[in-house]
Amino acid sequence: MSNEWKHRVSLFVMRFWQPTSACMTCMPGSWGNIVSVAHWTIAIQTGLLTGFMAVLLTFTPASTLYGHRYGNALVVGILSTLGDAYSHANHYGIPFAEHAVTGVVSGLLTLIASYLFEDHARRVRIAWSRLFRRPVH
């Protein structure tokens, strides 16, 4: 598999878990329905749609946004909003509010992940070593 397709597969996986997690968090009754098959189905559908759209964007000039931390978070937030809107109806009183909240949370998860996991999770390894007083490798 070429490096370009490895990157796309990696991008799909990242863009799958972030909106899925955001959708699970933002749906009403999320924590009470954590074992609900219907709830998981909607969240996974949102993640799959977002991941698919993210991979499609790699074939366009918009793919340059993935190289920038904030541009990446913005793209993922917008794609998550679209995927969530397509996956299910709004459960909040204000039209599209749930989808927008899901997009914002997904974008924030993307931004947090970019800080934590850059440079082979250097920040996580440093925090772990400070917590347990072990040298960083």
pLDDT in tens for each of the 137 residues of the chain?
A: 788 889 889 889 888 888 888 878 777 766 677 777 888 888 888 889 989 999 999 999 988 988 888 999 999 899 989 988 888 877 677 788 888 888 898 889 888 888 887 777 888 888 888 888 766 56
Look up tokens 């996580």; give the residue. Answer: 124
What is the pLDDT, as a whole number, of residue 36? 79
Sort residue 92 into left (φ over 0), alpha (ψ -120 to 50) or beta: beta
Q: Which domain holds residue 112?
A: 3-132
Residue 52 lies in a domain: yes
Q: Total domain count for the chain?
A: 1
pLDDT of residue 14: 82
Residue 137 lies in a domain: no
pLDDT at 30: 61
